[in-house]
Chain A
Amino acid sequence: MFNVIRKLTSFAAMVAVLFVFTTETMAAKKSKTLKNTQKKGFVRCGVSQGLPGFSNADASGNWTGIDVDVCRAVAAAVLGDANKVKFTPLSAKERFTALTSGEIDILSRNTTWTLSRDADIGLTFVGVNFYDGQGFMVRKSSGITSTSQFKNGISACTNIGTTTELNMRDFFNSRGISYEPVAFEKADEVVAAYDAGRCDTYTTDKSGLAAQRTKMKNPDEHIVLPETISKEPLGPVVRQGDAVWEDIVRWSLNTMIEAEEYGITSSNADSMKTSDNPQIKRLVGAEGEMGAAFGLDNDWNLRIIKQVGNYGESYKRNIADTGILPDRGPNQLWTKGGILYVPPAR
């Protein structure tokens, strides 16, 4: 009898060990991207060619921005170091090909989530890190204060290969205004053309307008019109077909947003381990097995918060303090009147 019990317990232990072992390695086995990333030792991340606040390199090549922080969060989670990221600047035209061809593993480049992009071209959007909308910029001296003052023959500068190009057409068409679209490949070229007077208005996502305005010869001469003509939920994208990697990126972003919701910051994260709130404890790896399903250890989310910070810190550091968009608008937590609302990490 005793023998049987001993045999049973050892069998159960073996099963348990096997189970833990298999869940740990199954995830890594299932995710080729995760395995390759850990082997290489860095996360391959596609970013913009320079959009202040979102992804922008300084003179010594350090990338900053809220899009950059998503990649840093993933690096902190899977490699333990938020600096182990290789950034690849991409034009709007190149970005999806770079991702689907396997040149990068995350595309975090102010990219609008649309049905056709999500469903058609081998991509999966994992979430939204900035709720944006398309707007117009004009010269202050033009006296234009609303898009209703636009007249036939207006020329509009924008980027090629973006949803902007499509929204612009819908906008002008629905109002019966004839316009001249001038589409460049690089954002810098668009700005230069508009700044020189080649175009009467510059249209792109409002955050982009605010950011590019800071780059102009004389920012005070330009205003962003109040109208928003489209919904532009911007977020990170991964290749289709690697569900585990997709989950890692999604929950890295969600962790940052939820950490803000529970008041966990990069400075107080360690002390939160002893919190009474189980939800907080789960977010700092002190309760539950939140990393196992991804094939990660239990501190993956704690590392994100400690090394990158929560969403609010990232926003403040990159967008508010740089004077691009001090007002968070819709990008405020749902508890504070915004629309940032992520599923619970449990």
Chain B
Amino acid sequence: MNNKIKRYIPQILTLLFVIGLLGFFTFNAQVNMDNRGIDFGFGFLNQESSFDVQFSLIEYSGSHSYARAYLVGLLNTLLVSFISIIFCTILGVIIGVSRLSSNFLIRNSAAWYVEFFRNIPLLLQIFFWYYAALRALPLPEKAAPWFGVTYMTIKGYYIPSFIWNNFDIFLYSILAVIISIFFISSYAKKLRETSGKQIPLFFISLGLLIVLPAISFLIGGVSLDFEIPVLKKLSLTSYTYEGGIGLPPELIALVLALSLYTSTFIAECVRAGIQGVSKGQKEAAASVGLTSNQILKLVIMPQALRIIIPPTTNQYLNLTKNSSLAAAIAYPDLVLVFAGTALMQTGKAIEIVSITMLTYLSISLAIAALMNWYNKKIEIKEK
């Protein structure tokens, strides 16, 4: 009993201290805001925002509310983080594996890449891509088409947009591919375990992925049109593109900087993961007659992933938080739209900054939860 109390006293004291500190901050903020005649409240979220945003994934204009502007910023943050996470993962894995290559040139260029991009501050890299690289692009009327139909200009990258007919049928065909691959792979596993026979699963899947959607095009009535960007004259000397999709240079610069920077850290995680699997594993696998592909896929990777995933999660979190540097180059992310323009127009600094902080916290926790779930799934199942 006595011991129990002794153990709890420091914890209770700490808790009281934390509550007291929070209470003091709240009280202090309230008193000071009262003194300065500032109201506290979230009512402004329903007001009309009356400012426009350059780039939005959902329908938005100034006649929508501040809450909607918040959503626009949030989605833009998620978009740039999502694209960058995909790119930096692909790039990171390639570079990481290259660092272990037996080829001198590949191994060393990968090492140089990592050292170069890892050691320059991210903000500088963003500035480089935006102010130096993308500003050097041609004006719209002088841009030569890439792949015939896309235009890289100082105002952005203009690409054709897809216009689907009977998109739902195409979607069903993809769904059918996924379901059949699932069944075939579980059948293949069973076959391997019972009779030791192997079927070329990869080629069957690939074939399905081509054939079924192709059928949907041929007899399902699915068709795909492109809306190609066309040059439009705004005045005697200024032009833009109309139609298609225009990716703003701010987005491109941010994705480039974030993916290149974060990929170096992921490459190091991948290298550490692969090197963390003991050599004996590889030799043992070779001695039972597995091919080198099989060794990588069945022996090395499953063990390496367990080492790679936790530090990679950190990198994904860093990337998402780093995306807030977008404000430096006018990409309308959460910080620029909500903690920037909306804060300025309403003056609700405490409310908006706390909402923004909570949002980043939630995004980070969500990513961490997802990665932890995946980590749990691939860790050693001890029986």
Given contacts A143-B237, A155-B155, contact A183 B347 (CB under 8 A): no
Q: Report whether B154 and A153 are in contact in the complex, using a CB–CB cutoff of 8 Å.
A: no
Looking at the complex, which one of A123, A150, A197 makes contact with B154 (CB distance below 8 Å)?
A: A197
Q: How far is the CB of A137 from chain B (nearest CB, A)?
A: 13
Given A141-B236, A143-B237, A240–B344 Cβ distance below 8 Å? no
Q: How far is the CA of A197 from the CA of B341 in the complex (A)?
A: 24
Q: Give the CA-CA distance A192 to B329 in the complex, in Å.
A: 12
A96 at the interface (CB under 8 A from B): yes
* B247 at interface, CB cutoff 8 A: no
Q: Cβ of A121 < 8 Å from any Cβ of B?
A: yes
A153-B234, A154-B234, A240-B37 known; A166 vs B249 contact (CB < 8 Å): no
Determine whether A162 belongs to the interface, using a CB cutoff of 8 Å to chain B: yes
CA distance A285 to B238 in the complex (A): 59
Give residues 32-47 of B contacting A (CB, 8 Å): 33, 35-39
Chain A residues near B250: list those with CB within 8 A.
Answer: 182
Smallest beta-carbon distance B257→chain A, Å: 16
A93-B238 CB under 8 A given contacts A165-B51, A169-B50, A197-B139? no
B345 with A161: CB separation less than 8 A: yes
Bound CA–CA A118/B155 (angstroms): 37
B53 on interface, CB distance cutoff 8 Å:
yes
Residue of B nearest to A92 (CB): B344
- Which residues of the partner chain B approach A189 to less than 8 Å between Cβ atoms? 330
With the chains together, A160 CA to B33 CA distance in Å?
25
CA distance A181 to B331 in the complex (A): 11
The yes or no answer to B291 lying at the interface (CB within 8 A) is no
User: Contact at A160–B341, with CB atoms within 8 Å?
Assistant: yes
For window 9-64 of B, CB contacts with A under 8 Å fall at 33, 35-39, 50-54, 61-62
B2 lies within 8 A of chain A by Cβ:
no
Contacts of B236 in A (CB 8 A): 141-144
Residues of A contacting B242 with CB < 8 Å? 152-153
Does A341 make an interface contact (CB < 8 A)? no
- B340 engages A93 (CB within 8 Å): yes
- Which chain A residues border B234 with CB–CB below 8 Å? 142, 150-151, 153-154, 200
Verify if B322 is at the interface (C-beta below 8 Å from A). no
B328 at the interface (CB under 8 A from A): yes
CB within 8 Å of A: which of B324-359? 327-330, 332, 336, 340-341, 343-349
Contact B344–A182 (Cβ < 8 Å): no
A29 contacts the other chain (CB 8 A): no
Main secondary structure of the interface of A (DSSP, over half): mixed
Chain B 210-250 interface residues, beta-carbon cutoff 8 Å to A: 232, 234-238, 240, 242, 248-250
Name the contact of B52 in the complex, choosing from A116, A181, A239 (C-beta under 8 A). Answer: A181
Across the two chains, which residue of chain A brings its CB closest to B241?
A: A153
Q: Does B131 contact A (CB under 8 A)?
A: yes
Q: How far is the CB of B343 from chain A (nearest CB, A)?
A: 7
CA distance A123 to B38 in the complex (A): 9
Contact B51 A200 (CB under 8 A): no
Q: Which residue of B lies closest to A32 (CB)?
A: B35
For residue A97, which residues in chain B have a CB less than 8 angstroms away from its CB? 349
Chain A neighbourhood of B282, CB < 8 A: none
A-B contact pairs, 23 of them (CB 8 A): A100-B36, A122-B33, A139-B237, A139-B238, A143-B235, A151-B234, A151-B235, A160-B336, A168-B52, A169-B52, A183-B54, A183-B332, A183-B336, A184-B329, A184-B330, A189-B330, A196-B154, A197-B154, A197-B155, A198-B154, A200-B235, A200-B238, A239-B36
Known: A92-B344, A182-B330, A200-B234. 18 other contacts (CB 8 A): A97-B349, A100-B36, A138-B235, A142-B237, A150-B234, A153-B234, A154-B238, A155-B155, A160-B330, A166-B51, A169-B61, A170-B50, A179-B52, A181-B51, A182-B248, A183-B332, A185-B330, A193-B330
Binding site for A on B (CB under 8 A): 33, 35-39, 50-54, 61-62, 131, 135, 139, 154-155, 232, 234-238, 240, 242, 248-250, 327-330, 332, 336, 340-341, 343-349
Hey, which bits of chain A sit against chain B, CB under 8 A?
Answer: 92-93, 96-97, 100, 116-117, 120-123, 138-139, 141-144, 149-155, 160-162, 165-166, 168-170, 173, 179-185, 189, 192-193, 196-198, 200, 239-241
